[in-house]
């Protein structure tokens, strides 16, 4: 159990960082950039089709009898987090670079992760069944809520521009394939469940999205907009936000009368933000904008949440082992 709680660098994130570095050194140009753009669109379409095919809608609905738990987690994900994101606007442009704030706000709008939320809840000895239902519901709703929140909050605050063209792209590249994947489950669900190697396609698609985004960013001079000090400040802000949310989810859950197992599910699910869903969605939502800088805060927050929750889940597990059963 202790081994599972070690602080590790996510290999998937390393591949993403390598793609960003490669695009910085050898960005796609000319015809290659056009081909990469179309390849990215196809990859995103297939990615959300697979998300739809994998996600069992009944999985997100069967646990509704424990509605207080799921509603609390969803409220943290889609209400409290966005409010925190809006409040962080006071840090921009000083000390947080104005070019990085839209990406930080976008982080707060993304759905929760599925696999890591469930894994960390399990390690911490929390309510795993509740985590499964809540994480599934978060991702199912996030396909619709994250774009809606981005349009509502980022357009109205002037931090990004999600125009009508982007809305059409959202429908065609995200909502349509996701719905088709859901409708195809009768024929595809067993196949995508059995073939675990399809996960490599998921990850490869996201790495491709990052390479394309940073290639485009190099043409726009994204690294002239921020410096090393700005990235260090971004990391510090992400750590503070994560620490605050970890405390707030636990404190609120206990004050609302949830038992320890439910409180752990709330803490582990209500503080996560999905890189796998957030990055490709950002490509569609913010087409034509400095997408590399919008992606960067999510990449930072993703690694921070893995490291922090890995250590915290292991500590919770040790506490559970030392506490005699009632």
pLDDT tens for residues 241-279? 999 999 999 999 999 999 999 999 999 999 999 988 898
Q: Does residue 39 sit within a domain?
A: yes
Q: Does residue 236 sit within a domain?
A: yes
Q: Does residue 183 sit within a domain?
A: yes
Q: Does residue 256 sit within a domain?
A: yes
pLDDT of residue 28: 87
Q: Does residue 323 sit within a domain?
A: no
Average pLDDT on 229-243 reads 96
Instruction: Let me know: does 263 contact 250? Beta carbons within 8 Å.
Output: yes
pTM of the model as a whole: 0.84
Number of domains in the chain: 1
pLDDT of residue 135: 86
Q: Does residue 89 sit within a domain?
A: yes
For the ranges 39-53, 114-128, 175-189, 217-231, the lowest mean pLDDT is seen at 217-231
* pLDDT per residue as tens digits for the range 32-55: 878 888 899 899 899 889 888 887
What is the pLDDT of the chain when averaged over all its residues? 85
Report d(CA 70, CA 74) in Å as an integer: 6
Q: Does residue 224 sit within a domain?
A: yes
pLDDT of residue 63: 56
Range of the domain at 57: 3-317
- What is the token pair recorded at 237? 């802000």
Least Cα distance to 70 among 240, 286, 253 occurs for 253
- Other C-beta atoms closer than 10 Å to the C-beta of 230 total 18
Q: Which residues contact 322 (CB under 8 A, 6 or more apart)?
A: none
Q: Does residue 324 sit within a domain?
A: no
Find the CATH number of the domain harbouring 108: 1.20.1530.20
């Amino acid at each position: 159990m202790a081994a599972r709680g070690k602080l590790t660098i996510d290999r998937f994130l390393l591949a993403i960082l390598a793609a960003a570095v490669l695009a910085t050194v050898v960005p796609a140009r000319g015809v290659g950039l056009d081909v990469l753009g179309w390849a990215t669109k196809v990859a995103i379409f297939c990615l959300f089709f697979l998300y739809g095919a994998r996600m069992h809608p009944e999985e997100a609905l069967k646990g509704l009898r424990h509605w207080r738990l799921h509603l609390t987690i969803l409220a943290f994900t889609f209400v409290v987090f966005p409010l925190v994101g809006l409040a962080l606007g006071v840090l921009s442009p000083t000390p947080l670079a104005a070019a990085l704030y839209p990406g930080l706000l976008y982080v707060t709008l993304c759905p929760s992760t599925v696999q890591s939320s469930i894994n960390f809840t399990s390690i911490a000895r929390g309510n795993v069944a509740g985590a499964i239902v809540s994480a599934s519901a978060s991702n199912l709703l996030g396909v619709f809520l994250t774009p809606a929140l981005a349009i509502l909050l980022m357009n109205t605050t002037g931090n990004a521009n999600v125009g009508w063209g982007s809305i059409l792209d959202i429908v065609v590249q995200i909502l349509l394939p996701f719905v088709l994947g859901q409708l195809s489950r009768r024929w595809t669900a067993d196949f995508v469940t059995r073939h675990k190697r399809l996960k490599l396609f998921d990850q490869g698609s996201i790495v491709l999205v990052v390479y394309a985004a940073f290639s485009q960013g190099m043409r726009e001079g994204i690294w002239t907009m921020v410096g090393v000090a700005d990235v260090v400040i971004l990391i510090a802000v992400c750590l503070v936000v994560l620490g605050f949310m970890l405390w707030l989810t636990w404190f609120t859950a206990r004050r609302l009368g949830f038992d320890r197992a439910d409180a752990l599910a709330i803490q582990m699910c209500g503080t996560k933000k999905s890189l796998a869903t957030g990055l490709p969605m950002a490509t569609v939502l913010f087409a034509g904008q400095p997408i590399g800088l919008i992606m960067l805060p999510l990449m930072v927050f993703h690694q921070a949440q893995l490291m922090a929750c890995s250590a915290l889940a292991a500590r919770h597990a040790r506490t559970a082992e030392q506490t005699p059963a009632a």
